[in-house]
Homo-oligomer: A and B are copies of this chain.
Amino acid sequence: MYKIPFSAPYSEPAGSPIRELFPFLSRPGMISLAGGYPSAGLFDQVGLQQACLRAMESPGQSLQYCATEGLPALRERLKEVSSARGVHCELEQLIVTTGSQQAFDLLVRVLVEPGNCVYVESPTYPATLQALRLAQSKIVQIPMDAMGIRIDALEAMLAKAPSDERPKLLYTVPNFSNPAGTLLPRERREALVQLALRYGFLIVEDDPYGALDFGSGTPPTLFELAGELAPDRNPVLYLSSLSKTVAPALRIGWMIVPRDVSRRCAIAKQTTDLCSSSLAQMIAAEYLNGGGADVAIEAARKEYGLRMRHMSAALRDQLGERASFVEPAGGMFIWLQTTREFDPKRLFEASVEAGVLFVPGRAFFEADADLHCMRLTYASPDCGQISEGIARLGHAFDAAK
């Protein structure tokens, strides 16, 4: 093949560290605690089939193109879903996207130029890092503790940042972050919004997991708090998704943003894909019209809570003092810190050998990676697989010592 002149960010792009795990996944008997997939067993198959049939009854609408901003019926439903979380908006502020990943990508297009600084959590979601890298932005990670972003550290960073390191955006998952599993307390949320107002940056509040709490609820969203603190200049761009609560296959995400932003994101989306699948949107709208979603989400919260407790007990049992973690209050992930005696590379290899897969910590850092950590999911494996998987992880710790 002759040499093709690729654009600079794509001349030698690194692949996704999670995709690098795919070859191991296909090994016979492998138990994966690595993916970010919700449990297929919890999908409301019957309810979605019925929604599918209802959608197909009006082919003129469900089989044709739809508006770039989304199918009107679905936008109305998502506005209601958001409103029930305290995120109130005008319809013009809401755009349906192909998952919340596309919402973030559109925001990066309309807001971030090469060299612009974007703050993210440390650790943070790998696809966010990748999107920012390919947009050639300057990525800065903010330290976290067991409760999420450390406001003291953030404030110190902002205060001393030279002008080219002032963030244009800050990306955060306040509800059950990926990978850390943290839930940001209300006081920190208010402080974060205040800092955004003071230093003039926008906050991308990504909220795919908020509905998956294990019983203790979540504080108000940043969007809602900011709306109270600064109704005329709310700096929060709210994203959410049906991927973790209804089904990833619909690829339905949405953003709620100021009209200036939504108008530009619609223009960006038009050149990106014209519109998301109107059939998938119609199915989602029909499904949300029925009462099945609440029942399915309630079942998922219970089951994920059970699995999380099962995994936590197994981890304490099998790993003891060799690793530590904070039990998450919702979401899909446990973030495990190992003691320094375990070489991360040897531990990963021993785990693959033992037949269990996790995502090594380095995937979640841009620089200064903390290698002595890993992300485990309890969402897709059942309790039996979790027991066996963590037992295998215990063997891997033994072998890697």
- The residues of A with any CB-CB pair to B shorter than 8 Å are 1-2, 4-8, 10, 13, 15-16, 19, 37, 40, 43, 45, 48-49, 52-53, 56, 59-60, 62-66, 68, 97-99, 101-102, 105, 109-113, 127, 130-131, 134, 168, 202, 232-233, 243, 247-251, 258-261, 264, 267-268, 270-280, 282-283
Q: A65-B248, A271-B131, A273-B105 are in contact. Are A6 and B110 (CB under 8 A)?
A: yes
Determine the distance from Cα of A56 to Cα of B52 in the docked complex, in whole angstroms: 9
Binding site secondary structure of chain A = helix
Contact A15 B60 (CB under 8 A): no
Contact B16 A45 (CB under 8 A): no
Q: A56-B49, A64-B247, A277-B250 are in contact. Are A134 and B271 (CB under 8 A)?
A: yes
Apart from the given pairs A10-B267, A99-B273, A249-B277, 5 other A-B contacts in the complex at a CB distance below 8 Å: A4-B260, A16-B267, A43-B63, A45-B59, A251-B275
A180 vs chain B, min Cβ distance (A) = 21
Other-chain residue from B1, B56, B267 in contact with A45 (beta carbon distance below 8 A): B56
CB-CB under 8 A from A268, the residues of chain B are 10, 134
Stoichiometry (number of copies): 2
Does A267 contact B5, Cβ atoms closer than 8 Å? no
A275–B59 Cα gap in the complex (Å)? 24
Contact across chains for B250 and A1 when beta carbons are under 8 A apart:
no
A344 to chain B, nearest CB (A): 24
Of A5, A48, A261, A274, chain B has the most CB atoms within 10 Å of the CB of: A274
Q: How far is the CA of A391 from the CA of B8 in the complex (A)?
A: 53
CA distance A273 to B76 in the complex (A): 22
Q: List 28 A-B contacts (CB under 8 A).
A: A1-B259, A1-B260, A2-B233, A4-B258, A7-B112, A7-B113, A10-B264, A13-B267, A37-B65, A40-B63, A45-B56, A48-B56, A48-B63, A52-B52, A52-B53, A63-B247, A63-B250, A64-B248, A65-B243, A65-B248, A98-B272, A101-B273, A109-B134, A248-B278, A249-B277, A250-B277, A251-B273, A280-B280
Q: Is A98 in contact with B277, judged by CB distance below 8 angstroms?
A: yes
Residue in B19, B65, B99, B261 whose beta carbon sits within 8 Å of that of A249 in the complex: B65
- With contacts A10-B110, A40-B59 taken as known, whether A98 is within 8 angstroms of B98 at the C-beta atoms is yes
Q: A243 to B280, alpha carbons, bound, how many Å?
A: 15
